[in-house]
Amino acid sequence: MPKQFDLLVFDWDGTLMDSAGAISYSIQAASRDMGLSVPSDSEARHIIGLGLNEAVAALFPDLPRSDYGALVDRYRHHYLSRDLDIPLFGGVAETIAALHEQGFLLAVATGKGRRGLNSVLECTGLGKYFHSSRCADECHSKPHPCMLLELMDELGVSQAKTLMIGDTSHDLLMANNAGVAAIGACYGAHPPESLKALSPIACVEDFGELSRWLNVHA
């Protein structure tokens, strides 16, 4: 079958890497360190995918901006202490390599900062397969369409030939705002109902199902 899409854009945390639990824990631990009210697991997971400043503003709207840096530093302290132990979802490495071999353009659009993304791309060995990436510290944060618009422009791919794959409503809203199709990864940070409400072309229950969908339909 001819390819339906030329460019596949993946979110990272909760879509390729099983990191939602570690992110939630680190947010809660940083909040305790700062003497702030500790968000619930669902509240912490809801802001996954946003840039760090946007996440802090959403969780702690009354926190002075002058305290953002200290809270972000505590978050990074807790997250980086676990970073090297966070696994990819099963089958991710093989699937990304196969998609690259099949001729797809592959990209990452993530709430991570550039330093964090470069680190995981290197330590997982996946960096060589991705043609480009955008991070929250160099673009507008999701759900603004900037990341997708810049990737499509750089790689010369139209909206109709671009597919966004992510596990949060921020990912799917970004896709809607950019006018591209999206797949909801219902095994990640946000509950399936919040993803299905945004009308993705498919919702998948685990990475294996995502891999099979891409193999048949992409």
The confidence score (pLDDT) of residue 80 equals 85
pLDDT > 70? residue 33: yes
Which CATH architecture does the domain made up of 7-19+87-217 adopt? 3-Layer(aba) Sandwich (3.40)
pLDDT > 80? residue 187: yes
Residues 6+ apart with CB under 8 A from 218: 3, 4, 5, 8, 99, 104, 163
Q: Which band of pLDDT confidence, cut at 50, 70 and 90, is reported for residue 121?
A: very high
pLDDT > 80? residue 119: yes
pLDDT tens, 130-162? 999 999 999 999 999 999 999 999 999 999 999
pLDDT > 90? residue 31: yes
Specify the CATH number for 20-84; select among 2.40.128, 1.10.3470, 1.10.150, 3.40.1440: 1.10.150
Residue 83 is among the residues annotated as catalytic for this protein: no
Mean pLDDT value across the chain: 95
Mean local confidence (pLDDT), 196-209: 97
Q: Which band of pLDDT confidence, cut at 50, 70 and 90, is reported for residue 2?
A: low
Residue 13 is among the residues annotated as catalytic for this protein: yes
SS3 of the chain: the string is: CCCCCCEEEECCECCCECCHHHHHHHHHHHHHHCCCCCCCHHHHHHCECECHHHHHHHHCCCCCHHHHHHHHHHHHHHHHCCHHHCCECCCHHHHHHHHHHCCCEEEEEECCCHHHHHHHHHHHCCHHHCCEEEECCCCCCCCCCHHHHHHHHHHCCCHHHEEEEECCHHHHHHHHHHCCEEEEECCCCCCHHHHHCCCCCEEECCHHHHHHHHHHHC
Sequence ranges of the domains in the chain:
7-19+87-217, 20-84
Mean local confidence (pLDDT), 195-204: 97
Question: CA-CA distances (angstroms) from residue 102 to 89, 98, 99, 181?
Answer: 21, 6, 5, 20
pLDDT tens, 74-113? 999 999 888 778 999 999 999 999 999 999 999 999 999 9
pLDDT tens, 40-86? 999 999 999 898 889 999 999 999 999 999 999 999 999 988 877 89
